[in-house]
Structures are given as structure tokens and as C-alpha cells.
Amino acid sequence: MSSDEFDPDIERLFARTPQMPDATLFAADVEARLASGSRVRTLALTTAGLIGGCIAVRESLNLNFSLAAAETPVAGRALGHSLQAAGANAGGAIQGAIEQMGLTDLSLGSMGGMQLFWLATGVLVALVAAGLVKLSQET
Amino acid sequence: MTKSLLDLHDVELAALAAAGGRREFGELARRHGSAVRALLRRMGAQPSEADDVAQDAFMTAFQRCAEFRGEGTFAAWVKRIAARQYLKRKSRDARYVAEIEVEEAAPQVDTPGLVDLDEALKALSETERLCVSLCHGAGMSHPEIAAAMNLPLGTVKSHVKRGLDKLRARLAPEPARYGQHRDGSIQGGRTAHVV
């Protein structure tokens, strides 16, 4: 800072800021906003985790039971059939849950692994871009 | 035995806040909220607007707490965040941009006797007030202010100088104030009077 910029008396006056009477209230507001932001983030992460988990379970059930049907022709056929039925029921239930969440149009059942991968990648890229835009606005 | 929040230094609190400690950050907001709000008011923000911007600044500071290394004070760090956010908000309104060419008449404050800084700042134009507050309140250099306000460096320097001259005149003790010429120039060189 050059001598033109520095004035110790003015600096001291600016540095002297008495505690405002509502300082505690202000801090409480800040904490409340932090808590609220944390709740929203937790909710969003939980929802995303649940949706992701449902899709993962559904996909793995389909895969396991297809293999079970193909590889146990004699001894495990009865077991395989019952598991397949259970898998179909579970898959149907999960699909129903996904549909209830408003994701009917996604028709995830018809999507292949690579399609889901690219879909997830696209969503991640969009989230990162949105984050960068927000960050650039704040700085 | 664990230390209470009141016993912890700002740097310790900031480190705990960086790990997600909301209570620790609340303590930082309690300690430095008044200074940040006062700076924003000195920059020209209305009290409610100052509180909003200060809250936003503390939110940003919480998100970036890991970046605070304790090289300066925590208050100075948040003040700079708040000052930049206030400038951004103002630049959206594009109020101060129009003042670059046309120097508006500053309101006259005729308080008898000594006046405090907040009163004295009212004698400055809006841009002078911003430049002086950013320089002396938020600790920003002239080039930083020029970049933040999107003004030429020379313009910022002259705003700061004019603002400081007016502040010194306002804050000077009575004899020095009587030394002012009718055209507004100041006779004698006393700087600000610290009350």
C-alpha cells in the first residue's frame, strides 16, 4: 500500500466497529441457514442414492436371474424358477417405484449398460457445469 | 478437557468449520458479523441489505473455509468476500457506473462539533464512499478496487484521495475545520481525529 493509500487514523476508525446488539441473532440466522442448506443437500443426496440404488438392484437382479436360468438346467431348476419369479416381482416393484417417482419416460428397462453410463455421465457433466457457473458468479 | 468455543482462536474455529462444524462457524459469525455488517453499511448499503449481503458472505465463507489459512485475520477475509458480493450486487443495479463521468453532489452533513466516521462518510459521494471503504475498511489495494469496480486505476485513486480529503476535513477538530476556505479547499494539514 502506498503512502497515498495509507492513513493510520482513518484505518483505526474503520477498524473500530462496536459489537452490534443483535450480533447473537445474526449468528443464529447464519447457523440456521447453514442447517437448512445441509438438510437440502442431505435430502438431495439421499434421494439420488435411493434412485441409484434401486436401479442398481434392479439391474443386478435381472442379470443374476438370467444367469441362474441358463446355468442350472437340472438341479437348481426349481430354485431357479422361484428366484426368477422373486426377481421379476422385485424388479416389477422397483420399476413401479421408479415410475411413481416420475421417471416413467426414462424407460430404463430398455436401456443398456452403456446407455445408462452415458446418461449418468451427461448428468454429472451438467452438474459440474452448473457448479462452475455458480462458483464464477460468486467469485 | 475440551476447550469451549469462546476459548478457541479464529484459525482453530475456521479449521473446525472447514470440517463441517456449523456451531464453530456460528461462533465466527457472532464474533465478526458486526464488523462485516458495519463495513457494508459504510459502503452505502441499507441496514437490511447489509445484513443480507453479510449473511451471503458468511455462507460463501463457510463453503470456502478450507481456503482460509490464517495468513490474515478471519474478519478481513470475510470482509473482502462481503465487499465483493456487495459490489457485484450493485453492479447489477449499475448505479455507480453512471457516476464515473458526472460527479454527483454529496449530501451535506452539518453536525456541530466532532462527527464520527459513519456520519462523516455521508459527506462523500457514493463512489468515493465505496472506494474509501474498500481501501480502508476491506483492506483492498487500488488495483484490486479498480478491477472489482471495473473502473480505471486513476479514477479509483482520485476517488480515494478526494474521499479521504473530505473525511479528514469532516473528522478534523474544530480549529482545523474553521481553516477551510470558502471554495472547500483546506488550510492546514491535520488528518483525521481519532475519537
Mean pLDDT of all residues in B169-182: 61
Q: Point out the residue among B22, B23, B38 whose CB comes nearest to the CB of A17.
A: B38
Q: Say how many C-beta atoms besides its own lie within 10 A of residue B192's C-beta.
A: 21
Top-tier CATH class for B107-195: mainly alpha
Domain B1-93 and domain B107-195 have a common topology: no
Contacts 24+ apart (CB under 8 A), A83-89: A87/A61, A87/A62
Res A53: pLDDT: 80
Chain A residues 65-124 with a CB less than 8 Å from chain B: none
Given a contact cutoff of 8 angstroms between Cβ atoms, the answer to whether B54 and B35 are in contact is no
Instruction: List the domain boundaries for chain B.
Output: 1-93, 107-195
Sequence-separated (6 or more) residues with CB below 8 Å from residue A90: A57, A58, A61
ipTM over 0.90: no
Residues of chain B positioned with their CB less than 8 A from the CB of A34: 22, 25-26, 59, 62
- Which tens digit of pLDDT belongs to each residue from A98-109? 677 665 555 555
Q: Is A135 on the interface with B (CB under 8 A)?
A: no
pTM higher than 0.80: no
- Best CA proximity match to B59, nearest among A38, A24, A20: A38
Instruction: List the domain boundaries for chain A.
Output: 21-106, 109-139
The domain defined by B1-93 folds into Rna Polymerase Sigma Factor; Chain: A (1.10.1740)
- Which tens digit of pLDDT belongs to each residue from B27-40? 999 999 999 999 99
- Best CA proximity match to A34, nearest among B52, B66, B85, B60: B60
| Cell 438341479, located at residue | A75
Give start and end residues of each alpha helix (H) in chain B.
10-18, 22-42, 47-63, 74-93, 117-121, 126-132, 142-149, 153-171, 174-178
Q: Point out the residue among A4, A12, A28 whose CB comes nearest to the CB of B194.
A: A12
Res A113: pLDDT: 72
Does residue B17 register a pLDDT over 50?
yes
Cα–Cα distance measured from residue A17 to residue A2, given in angstroms and rounded to the nearest whole number: 25
Say yes or no for a CB contact (<8 Å) between A27 and B59. no
Minimum Cα–Cα distance from A19: chain B residue = B34
Does residue A93 register a pLDDT over 50?
yes
- What DSSP designation does B114 have? -
Least confident of A40-54, A84-98, B2-16: A84-98
Say yes or no for a CB contact (<8 Å) between B33 and A20. yes
